[in-house]
Amino acid sequence: MREHRYRITLEHLATPKQGEPTNAAIHFETGNHDDLFAIVDKVRGRGQFDADTAASLALGLKLFTEVMLKNRSDPLFAEIHQPMRDFIQKLKARQQAVEPETAPASET
């Protein structure tokens, strides 16, 4: 299976108040079997959420479920495996419900 590689960066945008610690940006690399850019575009294209919320949903799910997939025998994930599958199927069903017909109209 081909793996897409990504560098993820997390930066805190607010200026810390006096006395609060300053958090350095976090950078890490990860892989995913899916093209995350395409998935973010697809979720954004649904119009169900604003662009940032859609990206957060798509990336959060894909990063988490990739960890689950790579550690499928870990009992930590046993109880949430099926509910997560059900949730993702509902999300995909919503996508199919809002996508325009791609098949050409038949001529009669």
With 0-12 / 13-18 / 19 or more C-beta atoms within 10 angstroms meaning exposed / middle / buried, residue 67 is middle
Say whether pLDDT at 107 is over 50. no
Q: What is the mean pLDDT of residues 95-105?
A: 57
pLDDT attached to residue 14: 84
For the domain that residue 46 is a member of, what is the CATH number? 3.10.20.850
Q: Return the percentage of the chain with pLDDT > 70, whole number.
A: 89
pLDDT attached to residue 108: 38
Per the structure, how many domains does the chain have?
1
Residue 85, domain member (yes or no): yes
Residue 106, domain member (yes or no): no
Give me the domain span that covers residue 72.
Answer: 4-12+24-98
**With a threshold of 0.95, does the pTM exceed it?**
no
Residue 40, domain member (yes or no): yes
Residue 105, domain member (yes or no): no
Task: Output phi, psi for 59, to 5 deg.
Answer: -65, -40
Q: Name the CA dihedral angle for 66, 68, 70, 76, rounded to a multiple of 10 degrees.
A: 160
Residue 18, domain member (yes or no): no
